Amino acid sequence: MRYHPLAEADRAEMLDAIGAAHIEELFAAAGDALLKKPLDLPCGRSEMAVERHMSALAARNTPASSVPFFLGAGAYRHHVPASVDHLIQRSEFMTSYTPYQPEIAQGTLQYLFEFQTQVALLTGMEVANASMYDGSTATVEAVLMAHRVTKRRKAVLSGALHPHYAEAVRTLSTLAGDDVISLAPDVSGQEDLIGAIDAETSCVVAQTPDVFGNLRDLRGLAQACHDNGALLVVVVTEIVSLGLVTSPGEMGADIVVCEGQSLGNGLNFGGPYVGLFATRAEFVRQAPGRLAGQTVDADGRRAFTLTLSTREQHIRRDKATSNICTNSGLCALAFSIHLTLLGETGLRRLAGVNHAGAVALAKELAQIDGVEVLNSVFFNEFTLRVPGDAAVLVETLAAHGVMAGVPVSRLLPGAGLDDLLLVACTETVTPQDRAAFVDALEGAL
């Protein structure tokens, strides 16, 4: 086996040193639990054979890069500069562990400190942690943190929060015995979240751009939350939008959670992604996850280390703020490198290109008979009303080589929204792609 350095002679010598006659002696404690014969599994294969097998599986999928592609709904296809993937594959980044020995992990710790700073700046918040698994689990953690901060246990969820995120919050809350009020699906962006707040509300969770693509002005909601002693949790699933639109922090958010996949990370069929978690400095001791902090070493030189770990499971066990251990380090690095390459100038331009393309596409699609764009304000994704069933339409267009978007019924089946299609347009979409979409849609209707 090419990954096993020990030769039979080594094994024999080692058994000798241990004083065991046979390898089985080392497993004696397992007794009756040991299998009497090998499991029914295939034998090991060469690198070439495995590559052939996996490539055959991969070939049965349609990659986004092979077709005009308009899917979003929480996962976005963006161009990732070639140097990002090269750098994250450096052995010292990819094959290191959580930086428990800071003297020999300053590379990881410094990039986490830089990542935290970038996230704080981008979201307009004071502090950010060293990443969560993804946007949805970060949202669950934000609700739990709001319960701890306010000592209340009722969350209010916007009807335009990504349905998977809302389901993840509801599932855990139901099992943990916490209350959740979920507003009805809200395509218009006009729902009355303020009216849902009462004296028991720990937080309101609202998304912008919301799952239907609407940009939401959350300033009034922030005020109403604070007037009632509740926190405003703002969810952002398309982080590139923050290059162009007002940050959640400026709108008064108390906790901001984001899906960071758009920067540095591929679609990967849904994971691994990277959750961003930012909040106010006053709440940091209630925050989940790892935090990298600055300090000095014995020679007085600046250095970085994991800190405030008395919040964490390996110290506090059942009193910890979260059970999270492994998070999303390498994806956070990819995010941070991509954002470093962009810089402020590049991010603003990237956001501009996204918005311009989406505005153009919305205009082009709206000219098709029977098709309606429902949003007045949006970033790079909007909701299209089509005649008939959007899911059927998507299958038809896929057969014609256009990946048209995400039918709302895929996320909200049975909600009576079967004629709605979520359409995203990033910088990877060319004018030719847009024309192909328009043609295919006209042909299908």
Positions 178 through 207 that interact with other proteins (CB under 8 A):
none
Which of 325, 387 has the CB closer to other proteins?
325
Could you say which residues in the range 48-107 bind other proteins, by CB under 8 A?
Answer: 50-51, 53-66, 69, 71, 73-75, 77, 81, 83, 85-107
Q: Of the candidates 121, 181, 368, 445, which one interacts with other proteins according to CB under 8 A? A: 121
Question: CB of 306: closest distance to other proteins in angstroms?
Answer: 8
177 binds other proteins (CB under 8 A): yes
Stretch that binds other proteins, among 179-187, 223-231, 299-307, 364-372 (CB under 8 A): 299-307
Indicate the helix (H) or strand (E) that contains 50. helix 47-58
Which residue from 255, 274, 279, 250 is spatially nearest to 264, judged by alpha carbons?
A: 274
- Stretch of residues binding other proteins (CB under 8 A), selected from 197-205, 228-236, 303-311, 436-444: 303-311
* Residue 29 within binding range of other proteins, rule CB under 8 A: yes
Supply 69's token pair. Answer: 């592609």
CB 253 to other proteins: min, Å: 14
Instruction: Single out the segment in contact with other proteins by CB under 8 A; choices: 199-207, 224-232, 329-337, 364-372.
Output: 329-337
- Residue 268 binding other proteins, by CB under 8 A: yes
Identify the DSSP state of 326: S
User: 163, 411 in Cβ contact below 8 A?
Assistant: yes
Considering only 144, 155, 206, 236, the residue that binds other proteins (CB under 8 A) is: 144
User: Where does residue 308 rank: exposed (0-12), middle (13-18), buried (19+ CB within 10 A)?
Assistant: middle
Greatest CA separation for the chain: 83
Say which residues have a Cβ less than 8 Å from residue 366's Cβ, sequence separation at least 6.
372, 373
Min CB(195)–other proteins separation in Å? 22
Q: Select the span of 198-206, 223-231, 405-413, 436-444 touching other proteins (CB under 8 A).
A: 405-413
Q: How many other CB atoms are found less than 10 A from the CB of residue 390?
A: 25
Q: List all residues 6 or more positions away from 223 whose beta carbon is below 8 Å from its beta carbon.
A: 252
Taking CB under 8 A as the criterion, the residue among 68, 137, 210, 248 binding other proteins is 137
429 binds other proteins (CB under 8 A): no
Q: Which residues partner with 368 through β-bridges? A: none
Q: Which of 21, 24, 3 is nearest to 12 (CA)?
A: 21
Is 282 an interacting residue with respect to other proteins (CB under 8 A)? no
* 228 or 309: CB nearest other proteins: 309
Contacts of 98 (CB under 8 A, 6+ apart): 290, 306, 325, 326, 329
Least distance between other proteins and beta carbon 158 (Å):
16
Q: Which stretch binds other proteins (CB under 8 A): 194-202, 221-229, 358-366, 435-443?
A: 358-366
Tell me if 161 sits within 8 A of 210, measured CB to CB.
Answer: yes
Structure tokens at 125: 């918040």
